[in-house]
Structure 1
Amino acid sequence: MLRHTDELMARVLDALDGSAAAGNTVVVKVADHGELGGAHGLRQEGAMIYRENNRVPLAIADPRNPATHSTTVTGLTSHIDIVPTLAALAGTDLLGPVAGRDLSPLLSAPGGSVRDALLLTSDAKSSGGQSPGVRYCLRGAITPRYSFARYSTPDSLDGPRTEFDYELYDRQEDPLELHNLAHNGGAAPLVDELNGLVDALTADQLHPTGPGRR
């Protein structure tokens, strides 16, 4: 599949070169999800917080700024950032407020950041929703250090917090995300703090209000 994807991408890039438009076209490569590939005993993808599932390729090549090519951005980015980024690169204004951030400044300052945390959500029934009572709905947050998830049924998305199942990983001390700090009620103050962060991100990104919100 990866080989076939590369072949199809090469066809697109060859056609772009043949059209003489390559010098005026920004090319973006992105994936919709990662591949667990055996990590945590799982394969494919699903509603979970693990980095193998959520860390995906995002490559932006702007022919007007070749000096930015082959640089690697270290800050947090999200799929919701793609639309405002493309608008900025195209030099056009968005028609309304969006939750995403413009990533184009990172092309020339790859060590920078445009956000402090990411919101992860999933309500996919394919992650267990066919069975009654399964907490398959995910609301989570990724910060530069922590990966945090709370799982609930559809009718308890907003709590109470005691009804959630939790995962919390310190990627600085536990880069493979093997030690759940929230197991058996652990790291309660940090869980409470990150619950507040998820609530704030959810209100901002899933329930947009007001003009010009970013």
Structure 2
Amino acid sequence: MMDSRPNLLLIQTDQQTAKTLSLYGNPVLQTPALERLAERGVVFEFAFCNYPACSPSRSSMFTGRYASTIGVHANHMMINPAEVTLPQVLKEHGYQTALIGKNHAFMENTKTYYPGEIVEPEKASVLRQVFDYVRLADHGHMVDGYRDDPETKAAHAWSHTCWVSPMGHGTNPARPEKCGSYLLGDTMMDYLENQRDPEKPFFTWLSFPDPHTPYQAPEPYASMIDPAEVPLPPKDKFEGKPERQLVAHLMDAMDTVDDDLMRKVRAIHYGMIRFIDDTLARVIAKMDELGITDNTVIVFTSDHGDSMGAHGLIQKHNMFYDSFTHVPFIVASPGYKGDKRTNHLVELIDIMPTFLDMAGIPIPPGVQGKSFAFYLRGQDYTPREYVVIESGEVGEPLRVSDITVRPEHPFDDRYFVWCAYRDAWVGKGKSIRTLEWKLNIYANGEGELYDLMNDPNELHNCFDDPTFTSIRSGLERKLLYWTMEKEDRLPLNTTVKLNYSEVKTKHV
């Protein structure tokens, strides 16, 4: 008998802020496939990653647990194989699981994380145990199954000329059909038509490495957006801001970047996103042809943002501006009848419990995300009051006075980009954000408070303004409560069976 549970498709880009999409107000980039997807579902206007870097964000998303809980506090750490993950649970409950694209969350083996043995190695959350089907992709254009194609290899090699400097960008001379986003579309379509088991529901993570660096695209996408029409964010003067912002500005030579260059890089970034959108149009058309769209929950999101010049910064950094943390979040769910847009706050760790709820599978103990399946079904749902984002490693962050060498200009290829260095992520912080306010607290004593209703671009730091003392202390208290609530519940206490409610019922 055929399994009638819904298919689950998680489409994720890498390093894409919500404001890159027309659905979130972008005036120059059209993404027709995503707009059609939104018509069939709902746009969450306020969705946030839980850490503004790839691996901690993806690792928390797939465990439904915060990065600080699972111990993934840096971009080169992966999920501890002893953690329980979304694809693992779905596979155990009869789903066929697939990863097509970028990983950067699951380990390839159990020898590279914590010392010691996994108690049940066959149950470890490692890449090729939790996914039945794996086709990996790298930044640039390398995709499993096409790594020996001469044109794809040439496209990949050329892309790396844009990789090694802060603002490297350009037009890749390759044909789009030989580039990564297109090949991932082909791989996904082949999986849907030929590789999957049609008797089982599927969970697929379609994970695009773009529009992350290297900033480059083939034609027609490289020239699709006229740089002259690209809007720029307002200038941030760094007044009253944490020193780490100025450090990052200087370490990527952003003090030497003019508006014309910023517009050109943004235009390429937008072209990369349109390339993904056109690929998604092909994928969804194939799903329609196969008759599986109407029984598939589709989520489109990104793992974190890219500042793209906002706050004088490029790429991602150890900070909490919306340009780093506010991600697109579109959900199309079978039978959805609700609003086309909602201001309900969601976090990426909410995906795991929501998908399990939609599949009728119990949510494992220890999951800290909040399912919004009730909302998708039109049932009573209490949204989050706030979201919390974490970042950084223990230690004192670099100060401006510590800078001895840095790139001399945006195309200086001697030092790579600042966010790739571990030093850039030293200095822990936490951010709590409601619809109206954002409070950022850093371990070195720095802080930020933004009135998002009157200062949506986060330019004026109110942290030390006595007018807002009660707002600040209220948010600090909420963050303290969150910290206590978030403390890991695992392992569960099974040592004492006796509890008061049982005793009480015997004596009533």
- Measured against the shorter chain, the TM-score band is 0.7 to 0.9
Higher relative contact order (CA 8 A, sep 6+): 2
1:99–1:208 contact (8 Å) kept in structure 2: no
How many residues are matched? 197
Q: CA deviation at 1:47?
A: 2.4
Q: Aligned to 2:321, which of 50, 53, 57?
A: 50
Q: CA deviation at 1:129?
A: 4.8
Deviations 1:87-114 (A, max 9, x none): 122222223241111112333669x751
- Bigger-Rg structure (1/2): 2
The alpha-carbon distance between structure 1 residues 128 and 169, as it changes in their structure 2 partners (threshold 3 A), is farther
The alpha-carbon distance between structure 1 residues 206 and 52, as it changes in their structure 2 partners (threshold 3 A), is farther
Q: Aligned to 2:423, which of 130, 133, 137?
A: 130
Counterpart code for 2:357 = A
Distance 2:427 2:363 in 1: 34
Deviations 1:103-133 (A, max 9, x none): 12333669x75111111101269487527xx
- CA RMSD for the aligned pairs? 3.0
Q: Aligned to 2:436, which of 133, 140, 145?
A: 145
Distance 2:289 2:335 in 1: 18
2:365–2:490 contact (8 Å) kept in structure 1: no
User: Which has the larger displacement, 185-194 or 172-181?
Assistant: 185-194
The alpha-carbon distance between structure 1 residues 172 and 3, as it changes in their structure 2 partners (threshold 3 A), is same
The question of 1:32 aligning with 2:300 is answered no
Paired residues for 1:157-176 under 5 Å: 163-176=444-457
Q: Residue 250 of structure 2 corresponds to which residue in structure 1?
A: none
Deviations 1:194-214 (A, max 9, x none): 222222223323533686xxx
Q: Aligned to 1:207, which of 488, 496, 500?
A: 488
Deviations 1:40-64 (A, max 9, x none): 1122222222122211111110122
Q: Residue 101 of structure 1 corresponds to which residue in structure 2?
A: 370
Give 4+ residue runs of structure 1 displaced > 6 Å after superposition: none
Q: Residue 17 of structure 1 corresponds to which residue in structure 2?
A: 288
Distance 2:378 2:459 in 1: 33
Distance 1:109 1:57 in 2: 22
Q: Aligned to 1:6, which of 270, 273, 277?
A: 277
1:148–1:166 contact (8 Å) kept in structure 2: yes
Distance 2:452 2:486 in 1: 24
Counterpart code for 2:330 = A
Q: Residue 74 of structure 1 corresponds to which residue in structure 2?
A: 343
1:76–1:113 contact (8 Å) kept in structure 2: no
Counterpart code for 1:150 = I
The question of 1:90 aligning with 2:359 is answered yes
Distance 1:113 1:169 in 2: 25
Deviations 1:20-78 (A, max 9, x none): 2112111111111123222211222222221222111111101223x34x711111111
SS at match of 1:76: strand
Q: CA deviation at 1:183?
A: 4.2
1:88–1:102 contact (8 Å) kept in structure 2: yes
* Structure 2 unaligned blocks of 5 or more: 1-271, 395-418, 493-508
Q: Residue 101 of structure 2 corresponds to which residue in structure 1?
A: none
SS at match of 2:367: coil
The alpha-carbon distance between structure 1 residues 206 and 140, as it changes in their structure 2 partners (threshold 3 A), is farther
The alpha-carbon distance between structure 1 residues 206 and 121, as it changes in their structure 2 partners (threshold 3 A), is farther
Distance 2:386 2:333 in 1: 26
Distance 1:113 1:51 in 2: 24
Distance 1:186 1:210 in 2: 44
Q: Residue 70 of structure 2 corresponds to which residue in structure 1?
A: none
2:388–2:433 contact (8 Å) kept in structure 1: yes
Counterpart code for 1:145 = E
* Structure 1 unaligned blocks of 5 or more: 153-162
The question of 1:197 aligning with 2:478 is answered yes
Distance 1:208 1:164 in 2: 29
SS at match of 1:52: helix
SS at match of 1:3: helix
Q: Aligned to 1:115, which of 384, 398, 412?
A: 384
SS at match of 1:75: strand
Q: Aligned to 1:179, which of 435, 460, 465?
A: 460
Identity rate, percent: 27
SS at match of 1:130: helix
